[in-house]
Amino acid sequence: MKNIIFHIDVNSAFLSWEAVYRLAHRGSGLDLRETASAVGGDISKRRGIILAKSIPAKKYGIKTGEMIPEARRKCPGLILVPPNYGLYEKCSAAFLKLLEEYSDVVEQYSIDEAFVDMTASCHLFGTPVEAAEQIKDRIKNELGFTVNIGISENKLLAKMASDFKKPDLIHTLYPEEIQRKMWPLPVSDLFFVGRATVQKLSSMGIRSIGQLAAADPACLRSLLKKQGEIVWGFANGIDFSPVLAEPPVNKGYGNSTTIPYDVADMQTARKVLLSLSETVASRLRADGVQAEEAAVGIRYSDFSYVTHQKRLRAATNLTAEIYEAACGLFADLWNGAPVRHLGIHTARIHRDSFTRQRVLFDETDYEKLAAMDAAVDSIRKRYGRDAVMRAAFLNQPICHMSGGISNALRTH
């Protein structure tokens, strides 16, 4: 029996969810999806990019990820609304819950995308297209937003199919349809092919997916290393990755933040690193894991980026240890220029119990630090993450737990 894989993608997710919420719960008479509108970040906090845009806005050339001032130059009348991630998480959960009525193998690919393995259950709902029609219509009628559904025998082709003409449509891309439907597309449309790869392929005269599929894999490997083999396989519709109902295990934990103003002193930088350490360490503890490697990334005001990493003396999930390591890495890396963005990443994750090797003359009471972190985690879990914070963050513009989604952006 051939596999039947669906890729289901919410059309302009953040904007659609905003539109539905405003129409249903705020009594708005304006459907954001029908006018030039976009969901965008906060320019005052230097997060001023377009996160989602309507189809009318797209006609002005507005692109996801571009800066808001540039989008406004293209469309002076653009309606801009702030993001509400709490709403988006609820919409995403409702979306996934509906999909789970059709299969017990649903893989959340992102907040607004999912793969569904319909191989064992599709016959209960008709042909693949009939099943997809039923899912698409139920999402539209019950949840209020539209989706595109791609149907194929593997995840890659299903995802490519869902990216065809939008919105509110179903497309198939079976192996026998690749030559007609996929090969004429520009190589930039192929999954895993970014801007830099497009330029390298263009230097070889490869501009369409079909030309990539017909290229010599050895030449691609010499130009793009391992990625050359992968994109050649994708161009030929080859993908053996299964739909995973359970998310893969994290190989690393990290958080980063764009600071509202340029940081040019060590004291403020250390405060930002402390807030990031709080967030990263709490995530490690929540998953019951420890990290044996830490890294710090710095983006300067000129947008140049540098990073530095080191092996820790012992695997840890203690906030104090991660903070100490981050401060040391920052001190070694920082060149004194104004800092726009900071990040902490951890790797070499240990999921089994990890015995700490004692170090001579180390008088740190690790059990006390662990007990303190556990108590703080417990209070935050029960009363919210702002229930406990370090005094250093009182009346400060820096959030005491930076990175990820702030409370302010979860509701408005």
Express each pLDDT in 44-56 by its tens digit: 666 678 999 999 9
pLDDT at 412: 46
Express each pLDDT in 295-309 by its tens digit: 999 999 998 999 999
Q: Are residues 218 and 301 in the same domain?
A: no
Q: Judge whether 241 lies within some domain.
A: no
Task: Determine the average pLDDT of the residues in 208-230.
Answer: 95
Q: Are residues 310 and 165 in the same domain?
A: no
Distance of CA 262 to the CA centre of its chain: 25
Under a CB-based contact definition with an 8 Å cutoff, are residues 318 and 370 in contact? Answer: yes
Which domain covers residue 169, as residue numbers?
1-182
Handedness of CA 21, 22, 27, 32 (dihedral sign): negative
Q: Are residues 54 and 72 in the same domain?
A: yes
Angle at 81 between CA 76 and CA 83, to 5 degrees: 140
Q: Judge whether 244 lies within some domain.
A: no
Express each pLDDT in 115-145 by its tens digit: 999 999 999 999 999 999 999 999 999 999 9
- Nearest of 321, 319, 390, 315 to residue 348 by alpha carbon: 315
- Which residues have a catalytic role annotated? 113
Q: Are residues 201 and 144 in the same domain?
A: no
pLDDT-derived band at 236, boundaries 50, 70, 90 = very high
Cβ burial, residue 1 (10 Å; 0-12/13-18/19+): exposed
Q: From CA 18, how far away is CA 361, in angstroms rounded?
A: 57
Tokens of 176: 């026998």
pLDDT-derived band at 355, boundaries 50, 70, 90 = low
- Nearest of 194, 292, 286, 310 to residue 251 by alpha carbon: 292
Q: Where residue 385 sits, what CATH number does that domain have?
A: 3.30.1490.100
Residue 356 in this model has a pLDDT that exceeds 80: no
Q: Are residues 168 and 24 in the same domain?
A: yes
| Higher pLDDT pick, 246 / 377 | 377
